[in-house]
């Protein structure tokens, strides 16, 4: 192991890094949702008669993207507050 750092501190540091990566995945999902909504608005502006189908497809895609963000948040909360990796020490 590294000199001058305990294994508990190392695991807590790695958990914090993992939590930040999980939150980053959720943030990027929100960015993707915004882009998808903008493109759907453009599509409805070009073809107003297809607005129901465009909206339905957009909402389905947004729901799938949102689950990714929620999973990232749950993983981050588990890594930061439950600290399952410390049980192995």
Domain that holds residue 60: 28-82
Answer yes or no: is 2 within a domain. Answer: no
Answer yes or no: is 21 within a domain. Answer: no
* Distance (Å) of CA 68 to CA 25, 32, 58, 84, 87: 8, 11, 16, 21, 27
Inter-residue contact 78 to 84 (CB < 8 Å): yes
Answer yes or no: is 73 within a domain. Answer: yes
CA distance 18 to 10: 12
Residue 43: which CATH number?
Answer: 1.20.20.10
Q: What is the pLDDT of residues 21-56, one digit of tens each?
A: 988 988 888 888 889 999 999 999 999 999 999 999
Whether this prediction's pTM lies above 0.95 is answered by no
Answer yes or no: is 67 within a domain. Answer: yes
Q: What is the pLDDT of residues 49-71, one digit of tens each?
A: 999 999 999 999 888 888 888 89
CA distance 14 to 17: 5
Answer yes or no: is 88 within a domain. Answer: no
- Domain count across the chain: 1
């Amino acid at each position: 192991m590294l000199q001058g750092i305990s294994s508990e501190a190392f695991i807590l540091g790695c958990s914090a890094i993992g939590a930040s990566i999980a939150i980053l995945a959720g943030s990027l999902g929100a960015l993707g949702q915004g882009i998808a909504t903008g493109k759907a608005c453009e599509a409805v502006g070009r073809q107003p008669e297809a607005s129901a189908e465009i909206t339905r497809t957009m909402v389905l895609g947004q729901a799938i993207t949102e689950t990714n963000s929620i999973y990232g948040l749950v993983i981050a909360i588990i890594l930061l507050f439950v600290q399952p990796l410390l049980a192995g020490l």
